[in-house]
A and B are shown apart, each in its own frame.
Chain A
Amino acid sequence: MKQQSNWSPYDNNGGTCVAIAGADYCVIAADTRMSTGYSILTRDYSKICQLAEKSVMASSGFQADVRALQKVLAARHLIYQHQHNKQMSCPAMAQLLSNTLYYKRFFPYYAFNVLGGLDNEGKGCVFTYDAVGSYERVGYSSQGSGSTLIMPFLDNQLKSPSPLLLSAQDAVTPLSELEAIDLVKTCFASATERDIYTGDKLEIVVLNADGIRREHMELRKD
């Protein structure tokens, strides 16, 4: 009998990420639980990484691949800064992330990303990706183990920038920054109840004209 290898180079560390774009702000949030199988590795792992002044990426999936991806993007951003003497804009970073992911089309980064930030006009933008780099600019998105639970609720609450109703090129939610943060907290509270890989703590990053701000909220630890 031929021996079949059952070692996989990938593992799923779970977690959920959400991002919502507003008229002049962007909210990016992710839980801080890292798990493997049915065990928890740590309750305090940040899945959010600031790639540029106005670009923040949240990634769920295999955190080793996520870490490697963050390093590659940081290096490429540094080169860009040296060559162009300015920071990368969010749409530019979005394209770079897509290309980086597709570069490994035949041995992908097991990373489900959501990129949030402010575009050149100061409007909020959110880009959502699959594991091999297919991306789209949307008004809001979620990725990760809790995304199937959160997405329909976001569709319901944020009908205006819903990709199901209107082709979202310039779609941003009319909600205020505080309302959007509240919505994100509600989403994670619900997802934590029903998804075993989501919980512990919620890390929220808010990008607006004044800069970047972080908030934390406790979630259920079971």
Chain B
Amino acid sequence: IFEYNGSALVAMVGKNCFAIASDRRLGVQLQTIATDFQRIYKIHDKLFIGLAGLATDAQTLYQKLVFRHKLYQLREERDMKPQTFASLVSALLYEKRFGPFFCQPVIAGLGDEDKPFICTMDSIGAKELAKDFVVAGTASESLYGACEAMFKPDMEAEELFETISQALLSSVDRDCLSGWGGHVYVVTPTEVTERILKGRMD
């Protein structure tokens, strides 16, 4: 059921910045039905969440998260920290422990003092904090290999963009259910750059 729509998500930490990237394919098993599907959503300027797995659950979960974050903003008059947001996602997922959302989230943000924060979790909310990179989706094994080999700590924004793009493109090329280009967000304390990658369109 995790392989119904196909997805590939990766987030990497750099020097005072992070990058989060996804593929753009939406399929129904082996039929591709969209080549511009958005998997990464902005919660606020310094917090992004990508949702891999079943697309309908990803969209519903995103809507619930936006709702919760807006309430938080109204009550606390500020944006949520990434660590808090991660705990929120984890709690929401575990509420449905015996009838879960078939989603694997990847959360990336800049926390206190603009320190990059990334984490992923399984479909019932088990958090995995990492210092280097996190991956999710049908192409996750390929992504593990590619990222492990290409990652270096403390990369600047430009180099981070190159690395994450290469890792994403080579990994989705080995996975039939993900691909059709890539969507990369590189976030530094001062700006957010969104870029679309053209890869093998299959």
Contacts and interface: CB of A to CB of B under 8 A. Distances in A.
Contacts of A187: 149
Given A164-B173, A164-B200, A151 B166 contact: no
B38 interface: no
Contacts of A194: 144-145, 148
B150 A153 contact: yes
Interface stretch (A61-69, A74-82, A142-150, A202-210): A142-150
Contact of A148 (B145, B166, B173, B200): B145
B173 A153 contact: no
Contacts of A193: 148
A152 B166 CA distance: 10
Contacts of A156: 146, 150, 166-167, 169-170
B120 interface: no
A152 B148 contact: no
A191 interface: yes
A151 B200 contact: no
B188 interface: no
A189 B146 CA distance: 12
A186 interface: yes
B104 interface: no
Contacts of B142: 148-149, 151-152
Contacts of B22: none
Contacts of B173: 152, 155, 164
B148 A190 contact: yes
Nearest to A150: B145
Contact of B171 (A152, A164, A189): A152
Contacts of A150: 145
B114 interface: no
Nearest to A145: B141
Interface in B142-159: 142-146, 148-150
Given A153-B146, A153-B149, A194-B148, A148 B170 contact: no
Q: Which of B143, B145, B148, B169 has the most CB of A within 10 A?
A: B145
Contacts of A164: 173, 200
Interface string A75-119: 000000000000000000000000000000000000000000000
A193 B171 CA distance: 17
Interface in B51-71: none
B149 A190 contact: yes
B174 interface: yes
Contacts of B148: 149, 190-191, 193-194
B136 to A, nearest CB: 14
A191 B173 CA distance: 18
Q: Which of B146, B148, B200 has the most CB of A within 10 A?
A: B148
Contacts of B146: 149, 152-153, 156
Contacts of B167: 152, 156
B145 A146 contact: yes
B59 to A, nearest CB: 28
A192 to B, nearest CB: 9
A24 B112 CA distance: 55
Contacts of A190: 145, 148-149
Contacts of B150: 153, 156
Q: Which 6 A-B pairs have the closest CB atoms?
A: A149-B145, A190-B148, A156-B170, A190-B149, A152-B170, A148-B141
12 contacts: A148-B174, A149-B141, A149-B144, A149-B145, A149-B148, A152-B173, A152-B174, A153-B149, A164-B173, A164-B200, A191-B145, A194-B145
Given A148-B142, A152-B145, 11 more contacts: A148-B174, A149-B141, A153-B150, A153-B170, A155-B170, A156-B169, A189-B149, A190-B148, A190-B149, A191-B145, A194-B148
